[in-house]
């Protein structure tokens, strides 16, 4: 059987004594309730901050257990990480724009220096470039090039028109541009 708590003779259970206490003012009760709400919010915020601090410490420890991550994060006062991020963003942007592959190279050179190691680092990005225009030409018998097929007869234009008035059949881009203009 559970043991009953000890009785304190200074405490009274007299309901008449309790009823004789003055009623607290409503404004004081509201202040007390607001203080309790603020305290609860502050406790929630402290718990959140403590969890965030723990998460950050765990992440820091995890990242810096890896010597490569430590090096990239701290070399040259963090500038290596900044350069790597800038190259990453630039190359990825161009890859998306031109739908072609690119690359990012981080070269780390390590050499002995007394009883320590000396590091040097370089970041290079190779972004794709826009496709250059190409043209098609025919090879002539004398080793030259021509826009006209030397094996075909030349078409004679009507009076007043010229070759410049038509799109160049040897240039697929010009032909496509002409087709778009006609639409």
pLDDT at res. 54:
92
pLDDT digits (tens, 9 = 90+) for 148-167: 888 888 777 777 655 555 55
To the nearest 10°, the Cα dihedral for 32, 38, 43, 46?
-150
Distance of CA 139 to CAs 83, 133, 143, 150, 167, Å?
A: 48, 19, 6, 8, 20
- Here the tokens at position 177 are 């541009």
pLDDT at res. 124:
96
Contact of 110 with 93, CB cutoff 8 Å: no
> Which residue stretches of the chain have pLDDT < 50?
none
CA 93 to chain centre: 11
Rounded CA-CA distance 107/123 in Å is: 6
pLDDT at res. 160:
61
β-bridge pairing 145-146 and 138-139? antiparallel
pLDDT at res. 123:
96
The domain limits of the chain are 25-65, 68-126, 138-182
Cα-Cα-Cα-Cα dihedral sign, residues 46, 49, 51, 53: negative
Contact of 139 with 149, CB cutoff 8 Å: no
To the nearest 10°, the Cα dihedral for 129, 134, 139, 140?
-120
Q: Token match 């915020």: residue? A: 45
Q: What is the DSSP string of 104-168?
A: EEEEEEEEEETTEEEEEEEEEEE---PPPP----EEPTTS-EESS-TTSPPPPPPTT--GGGS--
Distance of CA 128 to CAs 12, 106, 122, 173, Å?
A: 87, 18, 20, 20
The pTM of this model reads 0.44
């Amino acid at each position: 059987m559970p043991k009953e708590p000890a009785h304190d003779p200074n405490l009274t259970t007299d309901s008449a004594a309790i009823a004789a206490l003055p009623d607290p003012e409503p404004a004081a009760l509201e202040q007390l309730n607001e203080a309790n709400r603020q305290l609860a919010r502050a406790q929630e915020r402290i718990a959140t901050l403590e969890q965030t601090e723990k998460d950050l410490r765990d992440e820091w420890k995890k990242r810096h257990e890896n010597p490569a991550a430590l090096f990239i994060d701290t070399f040259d006062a963090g500038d290596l990480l900044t350069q790597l991020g800038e190259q990453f963003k630039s190359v990825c942007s161009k890859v998306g724009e031109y739908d072609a592959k690119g690359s990012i190279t981080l070269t780390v050179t390590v050499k002995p220096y007394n009883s320590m190691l000396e590091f040097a680092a370089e970041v290079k990005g190779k972004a794709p470039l826009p496709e250059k225009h190409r043209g098609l030409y025919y090879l002539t018998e004398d080793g030259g090039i021509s826009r006209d097929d030397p094996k075909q007869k030349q078409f004679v234009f009507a009076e007043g028109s010229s070759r410049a008035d038509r799109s160049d059949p040897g240039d697929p881009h010009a032909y496509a541009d002409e087709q778009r203009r006609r639409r």
